Chain A
């Protein structure tokens, strides 16, 4: 089964809105959670990440929330812009033994309309 799941394969919003991308994971040993952004024909780049010792991290318009008991983390984007249109990949992992690799979600394709 898939260890990291993104609930929405695609999402379309209007410019200026707030949007939330969700990611669920199965392994409660994971302690690192990341969101990568991928433009068409480009490679994924790290957008924001968080370790399990905090439940929130904010960077400008982007905030990641971690709910360890629910095995869930999310990416909140405020004041969405057309330039946010991209595929967003979540990934989770740990650093011990079999957990020491990142497991990736399938991605959510986001479109922000002007």
Chain B
């Protein structure tokens, strides 16, 4: 099974409220990623876990949290959603460390903040 599963597929949130997005894969991949994708923009890497080590991008460091309780699961947490967080959030996984192997993407979680 090469699928990456994301929940929920659609999320409506109020400004100031928390949001938690979940991703899972059963391929025993070492690395899991979260990307943010807005219309007419390229996917933007937010953070990734290599095994239990979290790497967050400098420009989104304070906006997003994540946890990886085991190899299969990875969450993306927004403590207080703002309008600018409205986007598609894509989870991906890869077998190896580094970003130069094949990425397997989930179908995305579309977040709308009102």
Beyond known contacts A102-B100, A106-B42: 5 more, CB 8 A cutoff: A45-B105, A49-B102, A89-B42, A102-B45, A106-B41
Does A79 sit within 8 A of B, measured CB to CB?
no
Q: Are A95 and B42 in contact (CB under 8 A)?
A: no
Q: Are B108 and A95 in contact (CB under 8 A)?
A: no
Contact-residue bracket for chain B: 10 to 19
Q: Are B99 and A101 in contact (CB under 8 A)?
A: yes
**A binding-site residues for B, Cβ under 8 Å:** 2, 4, 31-32, 36, 41-46, 49, 51, 89, 93-95, 100-107
Taking the closest CB of chain B, its distance from the CB of A78, in whole angstroms, is 23
Complex CA gap A46/B99 in Å reads 13
- Find chain A residues with CB under 8 A from B106 CB: 43
- Output the residue of B40, B48, B103 with the most chain A CB within 10 A: B103
Complex CA gap A46/B93 in Å reads 12
User: If the complex has contacts A101-B45, A106-B40, A106-B42, are A43 and B100 also in contact, measured as CB distance less than 8 A?
Assistant: no
What is the predominant secondary structure among interface residues of chain B facing chain A? loop
Partner among A4, A95, A107 whose Cβ is within 8 Å of the Cβ of B98:
A95
- Find chain A residues with CB under 8 A from B108 CB: 43
Q: Are B43 and A104 in contact (CB under 8 A)?
A: yes
Q: Are B102 and A43 in contact (CB under 8 A)?
A: no
- Find chain A residues with CB under 8 A from B4 CB: 43
- Find chain A residues with CB under 8 A from B104 CB: 45
Could you write out 14 A-B pairs with CB less than 8 Å apart? A31-B100, A42-B107, A43-B4, A43-B106, A44-B105, A45-B105, A49-B102, A93-B100, A94-B100, A95-B98, A95-B100, A102-B100, A104-B43, A106-B41
Complex CA gap A32/B4 in Å reads 23
Q: Are A4 and B42 in contact (CB under 8 A)?
A: yes
- Find chain A residues with CB under 8 A from B105 CB: 43-45
Does B76 sit within 8 A of A, measured CB to CB?
no
